[in-house]
Structure 1
Amino acid sequence: MTSLGVYLRGILMGAADIVPGVSGGTMAFITGIYDDLLGAIRAVDLEFARKVLKLDIRGAWEHINGGFLLALLLGIVTAVATLAQLLSWVLEYHPVPLWAFFFGLILASSLVLLKQVPAWNTGRLVCLAAGIAVAVTIALAPMVNLDFGLPGVFLAGFLAICAMILPGISGSFILVLIGMYGPTLLAVKSLDLAYLAVLATGAVFGLMVFSRLLHWLLQRFHEATMALLTGFLFGSLLVVWPWKRVLAWVESSSGGLKPAQQVPVLPDSFLVQTGTDPQTLLCMALMVFGFCLVWLVERRWGQEAGASP
């Protein structure tokens, strides 16, 4: 896999992370670099620390597949720097068509992942159903409150980063569900360094622990794990369904209100309940476009990634 290919995948991951409810891990799965990403993160271990302390920078770089991580990070940063404002504007003024586009992306991603399980049996079907059930529960769950001091902040960072590297589940969405989105937003605005340091520490621990767990599962129970993660993707379709009724709100980064709990509705019900044009034909066209885009990406890069060691 070339550095340019990894960089382009990073752009896709960064673009996905910008939109609430969509995970960069989803794009990593679509483009076939999920295993490589987990392996690189898992390589930040005691051996890596030993090489750094011995000033063996070249050895440490090679140990964590530094070229891969650098190209991926540059792609993510590029996407955030160039697309954040555009996607934020679209999300604010044309949210329904944007969610329709992402619905098509994730639906196609789910079907692509189904191909990663060559033979289905009862156990793998149970894993698929479990993944769907977990994602649906998260998507429809009301907020809980973990705002009980710095231990809650640590746990919030731990859970959010775990969600970010799972396909189909957004870390920011998890923060909303556990009641920590508002406090975290306030800490960022006020530069509460103690809060942010504890949050980052929790995220680092979560990344180290969860990436190793996922890597171990993929190595030992690859098909069952893929079935479970595919279920996460199918279940997350409720998160990006374009027509929703809001049940609860939370403060957004702009100081306004952001949906904290929503339930999907049909376009006709959306029109009646919100008084907003559901733009059904446009949304259906964007769903198809997003669906086709994923299949094109998978055909162009999925095969290449699958051939990589």
Structure 2
Amino acid sequence: MFKNILKGMGIGVANIIPGVSGGTLAVVFGIYDYLMEAVACFLTAPKSKKIEYIKFLLQIGAGAVIGILVFARVIEFLFANYPMQTKIAFVILILPSIPLIIKGENIRDKKNIISFVLGFVFIMLFTYATIKISGGPQEFDSVRTVFSTSYYIKLAFCGFIAIGAMIIPGISGSFLLLILGEYQNILSYINNFQIVPMIYLSIGMGLGALGFTKVINYCLKHHRSLTLFFILGIIIASLIQLLLNL
């Protein structure tokens, strides 16, 4: 139980750092498959399995919440003052565990190699297109203090998009929030315990989690090797991009 809470804390902290993926850490920690299964199959699972899923999700969820609440201010400070050192620290932590992702898989299989290349190219094109379309990350000097219905809808949409990014290894949900202009706002809501905007954000995240996890869980169950090599390509490309942006 304690190990799962610690893993959840790591995932939570990763998700609040732009450029770092919580999904990547879930893969590195060896819980990604089961996490996708627990979320995707929870509603249709038999009672005994539901209890098992609940225990696991509560442990990971509690750890993630603790990680976000405890380290949000610390990460905000480190990222603002020592961005290069913070990114390097995460890369160093992730690198040794990368071989474990495809342990026991056939690294010479042509289909697996193609899947790896596709994952690598996908994340490169995704990041390029996202920055190109948005004109780059949109940061603001002041945090929003006036709220409206349309803004709450935008927050829910941001939650939906961000959780999808957080679930897919190698794609940073925080980076997308930065591009959408809401990263500073959301970090401020967390640090200042502003409940109402966080509720709308959570609604979007809940809906996104149910949808994205079902797709990924299907791929892992029916095309495991191809999916793992695709994920590996995404992770390697993401780490390269992270280092290039130091």
Query: Cα distance 1:9–1:193, how it changes in 2: closer, same or farther (>3 A)?
Result: closer
Q: Deviations over 1:108-166 (max 9, x none)?
A: 34333232533432221111111111212233342535xxx788766543322111111
- Kept in 2, the 8 Å contact 1:187–1:196? The answer is no
Query: Cα distance 1:204–1:73, how it changes in 2: closer, same or farther (>3 A)?
Result: closer
Q: Deviations over 1:201-225 (max 9, x none)?
A: 4432221111011111000000000
Q: Match for residue 182 of structure 2?
A: 181
- Kept in 2, the 8 Å contact 1:136–1:238? The answer is no
- Kept in 1, the 8 Å contact 2:18–2:178? The answer is no
Look up the equivalent residue of 1:134 and give its one-letter code: F
The reply on whether 1:12 has 2:13 as its aligned counterpart is no
Q: Deviations over 1:173-216 (max 9, x none)?
A: 12334x35379759959x7968963x544432221111011111
Look up the equivalent residue of 2:175 and give its one-letter code: F
Task: Identify the match of residue 144 of structure 1 among 113, 133, 152.
Answer: 133
Look up the equivalent residue of 2:82 and give its one-letter code: H
Q: Match for residue 99 of structure 1?
A: 87
- Kept in 1, the 8 Å contact 2:6–2:63? The answer is yes
Task: Identify the match of residue 44 of structure 1 among 35, 42, 58.
Answer: 42
Higher strand share: 1
List runs of 5+ in structure 1 lacking aligned partners.
49-58, 245-263, 265-309
Look up the equivalent residue of 1:230 and give its one-letter code: L
Q: Show the 5 A alignment for 1:155-174.
A: 155-174=157-176
Q: Show the 5 A alignment for 1:84-123.
A: 84-115=72-103, 117-123=105-111
Query: Cα distance 1:155–1:120, how it changes in 2: closer, same or farther (>3 A)?
Result: farther
Q: Deviations over 1:28-52 (max 9, x none)?
A: 111111112111111332668xxxx
Distance 2:187 2:102 in 1: 41
Instruction: Report the Cα offset of residue 71 of structure 1.
Output: 1.4
Q: Show the 5 A alignment for 1:14-93.
A: 14-45=12-43, 59=47, 62-63=50-51, 65-93=53-81
Distance 1:186 1:74 in 2: 18
Query: Cα distance 1:176–1:60, how it changes in 2: closer, same or farther (>3 A)?
Result: farther
List runs of 5+ in structure 2 lacking aligned partners.
135-149
Query: Cα distance 1:194–1:12, how it changes in 2: closer, same or farther (>3 A)?
Result: closer
- Kept in 1, the 8 Å contact 2:42–2:50? The answer is no
Distance 1:223 1:60 in 2: 29
1:126 aligned counterpart, secondary structure: helix
- Kept in 1, the 8 Å contact 2:12–2:65? The answer is yes
Q: Deviations over 1:45-91 (max 9, x none)?
A: 2668xxxxxxxxxx488346111111112222222233232232222
Query: Cα distance 1:121–1:152, how it changes in 2: closer, same or farther (>3 A)?
Result: farther
Larger C-alpha radius of gyration, 1 or 2? 1
- Kept in 2, the 8 Å contact 1:143–1:176? The answer is no
Look up the equivalent residue of 2:133 and give its one-letter code: V
Look up the equivalent residue of 2:14 and give its one-letter code: A
Distance 2:8 2:155 in 1: 28
Higher helix share: 2
- Kept in 1, the 8 Å contact 2:10–2:25? The answer is yes
Q: Deviations over 1:246-274 (max 9, x none)?
A: xxxxxxxxxxxxxxxxxx6xxxxxxxxxx
Look up the equivalent residue of 2:208 and give its one-letter code: G
Distance 1:217 1:100 in 2: 31
- Kept in 1, the 8 Å contact 2:36–2:216? The answer is yes
1:65 aligned counterpart, secondary structure: helix
Percent of residue pairs bearing the same amino acid type: 26
Q: Match for residue 133 of structure 1?
A: 121
Query: Cα distance 1:47–1:71, how it changes in 2: closer, same or farther (>3 A)?
Result: closer
TM-score (norm 2): 0.76
Q: Deviations over 1:93-122 (max 9, x none)?
A: 222122112222333343332325334322
